[in-house]
Structure 1
Amino acid sequence: MISQKLNDQITRIGPGTSAGEVLRRYWQPAALTDELTEARPMVPVNLLGERLVLLRQSNGEFVLMTREACPDEPPAYYPESDALEVVQNGPRYPVVEMKGMYFAYMGPSAAPAFPKFDCFRAPDSHVFAFKGIWECNWLQALEVGIDPSHASFLHRFLQDEDPEDSYGKQFRDKAAHTNMPMTQVLREYPRPDIEVEETDFGLKITALRHLENDFTHVRVTNQIFPEAICIPMSREMTITQWHVPIDDENCYWYTLFTSFAKPVDKPLMREQRLKEHRLPDYAPLKNRSNDYRFDPEEQKTLTYTGMGLDINVHDQWAVESMGQIQDRTREHLGRGDAAIVRYRLMLRKAIKAVESNREGALLMRDEAAATIVGPLSNDAITATGDWKEASWEADKQRRAECPWDATV
């Protein structure tokens, strides 16, 4: 457990706050490119506790500008009416368009370079972007993503469907080098050993599920500082997901789905996700107001939660049920929370660096950030004594067969 003072320090993100000043020194997803059209040339953006508007300037460049506050506007949603009056003398933040998303930089110093992560290196044909709202603080949204054990419970499927019918769905694949469905691996081996190591971009998190006959399932996921994760979706696809604060009590998740071998079927993936979200605010159709459409009959036969097959809904329920800002003064972390503990230490270290004007001590802030590639994010089944090398080899093979330059 931690003190209330520390909990406030690592969760609150408005201008001048400790965590907010760290996040402002990194590029933040601000909108999807689908949101800005000729018919809709300005898009309201609520980001890091600031009310902004995204627009394209006459020179073709994009910018985020302060907009007049609308007192009737809920923080996570916005109307299509008159909330877009720009404050001409307010802050102006630079914006870049990348892979179906607009990224904004809201820091006081020069913006850092983008690393050469797979989601940024892949051609547009192999990347799909989407987002959704969660009504909770950004940190608890991030922390569920760096907990490898939760998938065995929260995302437990009681039936194993054919992966060929599961395009674009996480955990609906077969584990690498075996015919065992990933849903079965997670269900039958729910308590992995977890190894966490620091990297030049954040954390590498390895979950080891020891199977029968001296074999081990190795699942490698990553925390990309300050608020993103990169995890395997299937053998062919990874997910890079940012947990972006709207304000202290609401956040967006922005995801880049990246395919190694084949171009992504963007119309299908968008159609799948729009079955669970409404436009234009990308709010989930299953939410607290309708009890996430919980179905007790489904819970008996199909899923652990009884809330459908979309794992985003499972995560949403878990993080929103903690309250809009989790009370960490009452938590009791255990062995399975190793990545969460390490991440909080990294965040506190970054806060101290900013407060002492040592910005160069932050991860991915120097010129070397542009040379960072990867990260390794996959799953494999291998002989227990050789799991490290086998995990690397599985990743190398996938990259060698990739039609775009995915070398590391």
Structure 2
Amino acid sequence: MMSPEQNELITRIGPGTKCGALMRHYWHPVALTDELPAERPAKAVRVLGQDFVLFRDERGRYGLLDRDCPHRGADLAFGRLENGGLRCLFHGWLFDVDGKCLETPAEPEGSVLCQRVRQRSYPVMVKNGIVFAYLGDGEAPAFPDFDCFLAPSTHAFAFKGLIECNWLQALEVGIDPAHASYLHRFYEDEDTSAAYGKQFRAASSDSDIPMTRLLREYTRPQIDVEGTDYGLRLFALRKLNDKHTHVRVTNLVFPYAFVIPMSSEMTITQWHVPIDDTSCYWYAIFTSFGKPVDHAQMREQRLKLYELPDYRPHIGRHNQYGYNVAEQATQTYTGMGFDINVHDQWAVESQGRIQDRTREHLGYSDKAIVAYRRLLLSAIGQVANGEKPPMWLDAQRAATIRGPIAIDGMGPTQDWQSYWKDVDARRRTASSWAAQTPPPRVA
């Protein structure tokens, strides 16, 4: 059982906290590129309990600055985009993407005040529709050569959504292989040919059994967890008979992402980015190994669930997650509709803004959660001792970390260990882009 002190340690991420110090060793998604439209490419963002302004200048360069103007603290998020930077509305001070002060127009002619002023800036990088930022001190780590970053933009789609609870419980639902048989149970199976863009609705590789039926009928998966160079690899095995076992391979990418299969040709890489201690955004890149992603359809599907500009869910705590008694009796396990994002939102938000882990009783199905918390505590200790944590990568190491492999497939019961690797190899060989990249190393 976890102590209150441990729960505080692993959930609090603001400036001056030990977990916050760990988090500031990594790149974090801070916005979708879609959030910076041509008519005004600037917006306020809050990440790890800090406030920033993100903008794109006339040359197409992205900048992330502290939000308060270094002159007298006015809000730069309302600034004017002009003359190569972002101009404060209060006295016209102008800053470029690197935080350099370009002008202080209200000062006397010949003033050199501008030369002595600098706004803190943070490195930013765009990867397949997501703007990432490094919020720490010193050298930023390199990006790993994950599939979601290597795929061409035609084969990747990015989106996000707001979750009103602590980042850790939002992450932990994604590394819980057992919950899908209950939380995402449907009592009727749809035509799998209409499952595009929907999680747990298609058939898995080498099978014509809908995932909805598989999850509903095989509710006690064997769960195995192994350490990897990027975090953890999870296996969920649902044995149908002596010949066939359904194999699901998912991944925890330290510190707070997971990589899971969406269909036989598409994977989801999803980050759980703390806004502060009691809210977070999920950011996802959907990556296709087969056909190009239908961006219009994927976006239309998700805008039915999320409201712009904040990507706040239409169905949530404020309207009882759409709970319907009649539906719960006949159609879905939750009575909360047919989109699993709503189910997950209820599961993690209903635990409270910050889950009280001193009251929980973990079981066999929580193996991955236990393994992750141990990894997190160890990493917090490493940073406190002045060491680099897991997944802090230099360029050489980053180029060796690939994948990760994420598949659903119907494999042989006796040789499932080889099966999932073979499925991934087949998928990569047939892919227009993945066939050109070195495959992941698998021990």
- Equivalence for 2:20: 20
Residue 368 of structure 1 and its aligned partner are, at CA, apart by 0.4
Q: 1:243 aligns with which of 272, 291, 303?
A: 272
Distance in 2 separating the partners of 1:399 and 1:364:
27
Secondary structure at 1:371's aligned position in 2? Answer: coil
Distance in 2 separating the partners of 1:192 and 1:337:
12
- Equivalence for 1:381: 410
- Equivalence for 1:47: 47
Distance in 1 separating the partners of 2:41 and 2:210:
45
Listed as ranges, the matches of 1:326-345 within 5 Å are 326-345=355-374
- Equivalence for 2:164: 135
Distance in 2 separating the partners of 1:178 and 1:270:
28
Q: 2:256 aligns with which of 210, 227, 235?
A: 227
Residue 371 of structure 1 and its aligned partner are, at CA, apart by 2.1
**Within the alignment, does 1:144 sit opposite 2:138 as a pair?**
no
Distance in 2 separating the partners of 1:307 and 1:183:
16
Distance in 1 separating the partners of 2:314 and 2:60:
35
Q: Is the 8 A contact 2:246 2:408 kept in 1?
A: yes
Listed as ranges, the matches of 1:326-365 within 5 Å are 326-359=355-388, 361-365=389-393
Q: Is the 8 A contact 2:146 2:403 kept in 1?
A: yes
- Equivalence for 2:295: 266
- Equivalence for 2:434: 405
- Equivalence for 1:10: 10
Distance in 2 separating the partners of 1:242 and 1:340:
16
**Within the alignment, does 1:209 sit opposite 2:221 as a pair?**
no
Mark the runs of 5 or more structure 1 residues left unpaired by the alignment. Answer: 70-79
Q: Is the 8 A contact 2:242 2:413 kept in 1?
A: no
Residue 82 of structure 1 and its aligned partner are, at CA, apart by 8.3
Aligned letter for 1:311?
A: I
Root mean square deviation, CA, Å = 1.9
Secondary structure at 1:297's aligned position in 2? Answer: helix
Residue 362 of structure 1 and its aligned partner are, at CA, apart by 2.6
Aligned letter for 2:416?
A: W
Query: Aligned residues, how many?
Result: 398
Q: Deviations over 1:108-139 (max 9, x none)?
A: 12111111111011110000000000000000
Residue 59 of structure 1 and its aligned partner are, at CA, apart by 5.2
Aligned letter for 1:391?
A: W
Secondary structure at 1:385's aligned position in 2? Answer: coil
Residue 63 of structure 1 and its aligned partner are, at CA, apart by 1.8
**Within the alignment, does 1:30 sit opposite 2:30 as a pair?**
yes
Distance in 2 separating the partners of 1:109 and 1:365:
13
Q: Is the 8 A contact 1:131 1:282 kept in 2?
A: yes
**Within the alignment, does 1:118 sit opposite 2:147 as a pair?**
yes
**Distance 1:52-1:237 versus aligned 2 partners, 3 A rule:** same
- Equivalence for 1:372: 401
Distance in 2 separating the partners of 1:171 and 1:364:
32
Distance in 1 separating the partners of 2:361 and 2:184:
22
Distance in 1 separating the partners of 2:14 and 2:119:
16
Aligned letter for 2:390?
A: L
Q: 1:173 aligns with which of 184, 188, 202?
A: 202
- Equivalence for 2:319: 290
Aligned letter for 2:21?
A: E
The answer to which structure, 1 or 2, has the higher relative contact order (CA under 8 A, 6+ apart) is: 1
Secondary structure at 2:45's aligned position in 1? Answer: strand
TM score, norm. by length of structure 1: 0.94
- Equivalence for 1:396: 425
Residue 90 of structure 1 and its aligned partner are, at CA, apart by 4.8
Secondary structure at 1:337's aligned position in 2? Answer: helix
172-181 vs 277-286, which deviates more? 172-181
Mark the runs of 5 or more structure 2 residues left unpaired by the alignment. Answer: 70-76, 81-85, 90-94, 100-117
Q: Is the 8 A contact 2:144 2:393 kept in 1?
A: no
Q: Deviations over 1:156-211 (max 9, x none)?
A: 11111011112100111112212111111111111101110000000000001111
Q: Provide the identity percentage.
A: 56
**Within the alignment, does 1:311 sit opposite 2:324 as a pair?**
no
Residue 58 of structure 1 and its aligned partner are, at CA, apart by 5.5
Q: Deviations over 1:255-301 (max 9, x none)?
A: 00000010000001000000011111100000111101111222122
Q: Is the 8 A contact 1:131 1:254 kept in 2?
A: yes
Secondary structure at 2:315's aligned position in 1? Answer: coil
14-23 vs 322-331, which deviates more? 14-23
Aligned letter for 2:23?
A: L
Q: Is the 8 A contact 1:152 1:189 kept in 2?
A: yes
Distance in 2 separating the partners of 1:405 and 1:234:
16
Distance in 2 separating the partners of 1:178 and 1:127:
25
Q: Is the 8 A contact 1:200 1:364 kept in 2?
A: no
Q: Is the 8 A contact 2:289 2:434 kept in 1?
A: no
Listed as ranges, the matches of 1:88-99 within 5 Å are 89-99=118-128
- Equivalence for 2:72: none
Question: Whose radius of gyration is greater, 1 or 2?
Answer: 2
